[in-house]
Chain A
Amino acid sequence: MKTGNSKTKLNIALSGQPNCGKSTMFNALTGSTARVGNYPGITVDRMEGVYSYGNYEIKITDLPGTYSLSSYSLEEVVARDVIINEKPDVVVCMLDATAIERSLYLTVQLMELGVPVVVGMNMMDSARKNGVHIDSLKLAELLNVPIVECVARRGIGKEELMQKVVDVYEQGGRDVCKPLHISYGNELEEVIESMAREINGVEFMTERYPARWIALKYLEEDSAVVGYGKEIGGIHEKLCSRVQEYKQHVQKALDSYPEAIIADQRYGFINALIKDVVMRKTSLNYDISDKVDKVLTQRFLGPIIMFGILYLMFYVTFNVGAIPQGWVEDLFGWFGDLAVRFIPEGLFQSLIVSGVIDGVGAVMGFAPLIMIMFAMLVFLEDLGYMARVAYMFDRILRFFGLHGASVMPFILSGGIPGGCAVPGVMTARTLRSRNERLATIFTAPYFVCGAKITAFLVLCAAFFPDNGDTVMLLITLASWVGALLVSLLLRKTVIKGESTPFIMELPPYRLPTFYGVTVHTLERVWQYVKKAGTVIFSISVLLWVLMTFPQLPEDVNAGFDKKLEAVSSEYAGDELDLQINNIESDRSEEALRYSVAGRVGTAMESVTHLAGFNWRANIALFAGVAAKEVIVSTLSTAYSLGEADPDAVIEGDDMGFIDRMRNDPSWTMPAVISIFVFMLLYCPCFVTIVVMARESSWGWAIFASVASILGSFLLSVIIYQVGTNLL
């Protein structure tokens, strides 16, 4: 394709198995041109970038890493769809030279699909170090594809790779490429050939796939291809019955399955191919990673080291992260001051300061935390450690219908109190299996995040002044019990199904490249800021409206003004300030009660009294959906003390509000326990809901929120009613 600026545009796809260094090569090739996007409807990242080579502008699409090209996992479907639907001019397949048999399994399948392939033989340095010698020239000759030896992390081989891509394209590319023909053994070969003849005869789906490949996929009972064939009709039924016939035959004769025979033969082809190409000193040698694992996954030491690392991550994120978070908050505070100074007092100022700046500022404050968290997480992931964590914890979590890899999202969300569900939910993407990922996303917000801690600390100070520590510990345990039991419940009901197989590679430990970690992290933070920023902006404005309108009627306001005048003439100095403060507090309580939120809170009392919540608690819980930090400040407003600084409350400077709560007769012990449970489980905050929707779907995020509210309310009602009536 020639374009206006005389550069020829090429589209290529970069494919390869997980951990083969494909992404490293992608980064080396595309550098700053890389952009991350999403495949429509799913949460697999789509990376694209451009590499200029001579007269060519090569657009590179990084496919998800897959071991095979079947249609079992999302990644496999995506990779295959890109290759088939977008028809890239060339597909570059990266190989891991240290695991060459398994790597070639994907290459061979790409070649069977009939796309022009260029192979990048990566990790040649590690292979040599491990005593594996590969004659790649000979392999290229046998396979009849260009092979370039690479060391992606040092950028070695990238130019030659692109040269070969251009060569293949100039020699005719797709037009001259013939699908690889593997012989599947006499009996099966006969079946394949007869099916392929039928397919060719009526041109059944041949505009999309090669005929032999369609036959193979029918034999493998590939759901995507067979489903597509079923829609078309034609010879679909005929092919299916041919497959059934063969299936019964091999079942009887060989006690096997067609797909097993196909896989065996494919590996057989590969083994024959590399017999004279690959020389190994020993076939099953241990390497350094195995030795490191003897310690890092050791029965007792392994979990201890893991908790140490997690705790360290946690500590760094929330302590070091608090510093830039403070800067961001200061910045927004400064914006607020500016707005107060330059915008005349009134509704518009209130909207800008309380609605927009505070709301968006709270969201932006998370950005530094996410950056630090992700940098460490990407580092551990690329290093290969996260696979070990999943390996060690799979047994326990599997019992609750989760996966070993659920540990990380849980811990980050507040499994150790003080986390945050936003990065927690975001890390759930490391879970490759859908059901386990959905259950993890659903329950991650149950843990005690930093914002919930402030609320619990204040309530503990009010109701458990002497044993707050014990109560906090119980709350943490309760969050784990809640999350695990709800996961179990979900996996037995809405997302039931066999647990996804845990067939996972423990990749060798490899030090990640600084560039890769940085790029990955910044992309993530930017996406968060963009998405959450826009949604949160709208929600903040909405909440502000709900808590501001309708305003107090003139006469009520005038009444407060009159009281103010009265005290100004009666008192002076500090005493005057105190009086003014009290009146303004009464006014804000009255205003809040008069607003839509206040009316809803009051109206809700008719239902929430079953769980022991009064209208003040209702408004606080309602506002807490915006951000859990708001629970304390709203409660204190509702208890008419004006602005309450949560820190001051905890440090005991502001005991008035706590005393008032403690002395409120409606807070009986059952009501207190009831609200504790409700606060722990009821609803993720808005930022979390937005992130949940991004990582799963809006449907799931909303279902999770609504189901959690109803479930926790039911639980609270039971606690309150049993506690009040039976004890």
Chain B
Amino acid sequence: MIMNMREMKNNVVGTVTSVSAKGELGRRIRDMGLIPGAEFTIIGRAPLKDPVAIRLKGFTLTLRNREADYVFCNASSIA
């Protein structure tokens, strides 16, 4: 099921399908390895539910919800 990263619940595993951001934001997202095919787990959210923390291969990354909106994923299973 395709959804954007903001909608994903904690501990859900997902695979990136597309990143729709352009310019600086797009490049920063991609530089960190969030490109189509990348797998990640949502590991938590900050006390005010924003930003979100995700686990990628080998490291943990945080991004704001409004940035996560650009990342579309295939949420597959619960870790």
Q: Which chain B residues lie closer than 8 Å to A284 at the CB level?
A: 13, 39-41, 55-57, 79
Complexed CA–CA distance, A294 and B27 (Å): 29
B 22-63 binary contact with A (CB < 8 Å = 1; else 0): 101111111111011011110110111111010111111111
Q: Are A391 and B28 in contact (CB under 8 A)?
A: no
Q: Taking the complex as formed, is A502 at the interface, i.e. its CB lies under 8 A from any CB of chain B?
A: yes
Residue from A132, A289, A300, A394 in contact with B46 in the complex, judged by beta carbons closer than 8 Å: A394
Q: Which chain B residues lie closer than 8 Å to A101 at the CB level?
A: 33, 57-58
Q: Are A395 and B48 in contact (CB under 8 A)?
A: yes
Residues of chain A from 75 to 106 with CB closer than 8 A to chain B in the complex = 96, 98-102, 105
Complexed CA–CA distance, A532 and B27 (Å): 39
Q: Which chain B residues lie closer than 8 Å to A257 at the CB level?
A: 22, 26
Q: Which chain B residues lie closer than 8 Å to A67 at the CB level?
A: 28, 31-32
Q: Taking the complex as formed, is B64 at the interface, i.e. its CB lies under 8 A from any CB of chain A?
A: yes
Q: Taking the complex as formed, is B69 at the interface, i.e. its CB lies under 8 A from any CB of chain A?
A: no
Chain B contact patch, size range: 35 or more
CB distance from B23 to the nearest CB of A (A): 8
Q: Which chain B residues lie closer than 8 Å to A72 at the CB level?
A: 24, 27-28
Q: Which chain B residues lie closer than 8 Å to A392 at the CB level?
A: 46-47
Q: Taking the complex as formed, is B75 at the interface, i.e. its CB lies under 8 A from any CB of chain A?
A: no
Residue of A with least CB distance to B48: A395
CB distance from A263 to the nearest CB of B (A): 4
**How many inter-chain residue pairs (CB < 8 Å) link A and B?**
141
Known interface pairs A72-B27, A290-B43; A506-B53 also in contact (CB < 8 Å): yes
Complexed CA–CA distance, A506 and B54 (Å): 9
Chain A contact patch, size range: 35 or more
CB distance from A218 to the nearest CB of B (A): 15
Q: Which chain B residues lie closer than 8 Å to A57 at the CB level?
A: none
Q: Taking the complex as formed, is A293 at the interface, i.e. its CB lies under 8 A from any CB of chain B?
A: yes
CB distance from A385 to the nearest CB of B (A): 14
Q: Are B60 and A70 in contact (CB under 8 A)?
A: no
Q: Are A98 and B63 in contact (CB under 8 A)?
A: no
Complexed CA–CA distance, A504 and B34 (Å): 12
Complexed CA–CA distance, A564 and B57 (Å): 84
CB distance from A91 to the nearest CB of B (A): 19
Q: Taking the complex as formed, is A503 at the interface, i.e. its CB lies under 8 A from any CB of chain B?
A: yes
Complexed CA–CA distance, A341 and B50 (Å): 64
Complexed CA–CA distance, A401 and B52 (Å): 19
Q: Taking the complex as formed, is A706 at the interface, i.e. its CB lies under 8 A from any CB of chain B?
A: no
Q: Are A391 and B53 in contact (CB under 8 A)?
A: yes
Residue of A with least CB distance to B43: A290
Complexed CA–CA distance, A109 and B7 (Å): 34
Q: Taking the complex as formed, is A202 at the interface, i.e. its CB lies under 8 A from any CB of chain B?
A: no
Q: Are A260 and B19 in contact (CB under 8 A)?
A: yes
Residue from A256, A303, A387, A503 in contact with B67 in the complex, judged by beta carbons closer than 8 Å: A503
Known interface pairs A101-B58, A257-B22, A503-B32; A394-B27 also in contact (CB < 8 Å): no
Q: Which chain A residues lie closer than 8 Å to B55 at the CB level?
A: 284, 286, 290
Q: Are A501 and B25 in contact (CB under 8 A)?
A: yes
Complexed CA–CA distance, A507 and B13 (Å): 20
CB distance from B26 to the nearest CB of A (A): 6
Q: Are B59 and A505 in contact (CB under 8 A)?
A: yes
Q: Are B47 and A300 in contact (CB under 8 A)?
A: yes
Q: Taking the complex as formed, is A524 at the interface, i.e. its CB lies under 8 A from any CB of chain B?
A: no
Residues of chain A from 267 to 306 with CB closer than 8 A to chain B in the complex = 267, 280, 283-284, 286, 289-290, 293-294, 297, 299-300, 302-303
Known: A102-B33, A105-B33. 6 other contacts (CB 8 A): A96-B59, A100-B58, A257-B22, A284-B79, A286-B43, A387-B62
Binding site for B on A (CB under 8 A): 67-68, 70, 72, 96, 98-102, 105, 130, 132, 220, 256-257, 259-260, 263-264, 267, 280, 283-284, 286, 289-290, 293-294, 297, 299-300, 302-303, 387, 391-392, 394-396, 398, 501-508
Binding site for A on B (CB under 8 A): 13, 18-19, 22, 24-33, 35-36, 38-41, 43-44, 46-51, 53, 55-64, 67, 79
Interchain Cβ contacts under 8 Å between A and B, 11 examples: A72-B24, A96-B58, A98-B59, A257-B26, A267-B38, A290-B43, A297-B44, A297-B53, A395-B49, A501-B24, A503-B67
